[in-house]
Amino acid sequence: MVERERPAGLREKKKQATRHALFEAAVRLAAEHGAQQVTVEAISERAGVSPRTFFNYFRSREDAFVMSDPEVGERIRQAVREAPAERSALDVLRDAMAEQIAGMELDRELWSLVALVLSRSPELTSRLLSLQAEEERALAEAFTARLRDQGRDGPRAQLYAWLLASLSAAATRVAMTQWYEHSGTEAFPDIFHQVFDQLAAGLAHPVDES
């Protein structure tokens, strides 16, 4: 089984590298010329692929600037749906997200360019928000289905499902902010896990430095 899985892993890594190259090209071009001026052709050329290939990775021109990858959300939801019922939903969410984050290349300079590009383009900010809202709803529905399978489908279960979905975005954002502010001292995945440790411990007090 391991033998057969290896090529798929390699293919997946190559796909992620191409997606990242397109994202980086889009963001650097937008920082130089303004997002409005940047065409799919220019992004593809800088990333060394054809415009047709571009649309294998992104649904629209706009999505490249915010690195929207519909597959990431779907993989997280699949992990949520398939996780054993006895596992804590928060742990399930953390592990599913951590697996996706592990593949992310984080580059402070690039992310500050993303922030710059978004601050100059209300259209892109708005697109990012509506993508996030779609993802949040889909993730809440995955948790709702999981809870229903466990015989929980009252309003409290629904509130819990939505809270988890909403926290997935909040946790990522908080981890990004902290990583950005203390760059170099701690790796992003470690900070990401600290956020989930804090959520699991409740929020009455900060968890101690370990």
Contact positions vs its own copies (CB under 8 A)? 88-91, 119, 122-123, 125-126, 129-130, 147, 152, 154-164, 166-167, 169-171, 173-174, 177-178, 181-182, 185-186, 191, 194-195, 198-209
Choice between 44 and 68, CB closer to its own copies = 68
Number of H helices, E strands in the chain: 10, 0
Least gap, CB of 207 to its own copies (angstroms): 6
Choice between 53 and 183, CB closer to its own copies = 183
Least gap, CB of 135 to its own copies (angstroms): 14
Choice between 74 and 123, CB closer to its own copies = 123
66, 127 contact by CB (below 8 A) = yes
Least gap, CB of 178 to its own copies (angstroms): 5
Separation of alpha carbons 26 and 112, rounded Å: 14
Measure the CA angle with vertex 36, ends 35 and 38; round to 5°. 65
144, 77 contact by CB (below 8 A) = no
Choice between 27 and 195, CB closer to its own copies = 195
Length of the chain counted residue by residue: 210
Least gap, CB of 80 to its own copies (angstroms): 13
> Would you tell me the crossing angle of helices 122-149 and 155-181 to the nearest 10 degrees?
130
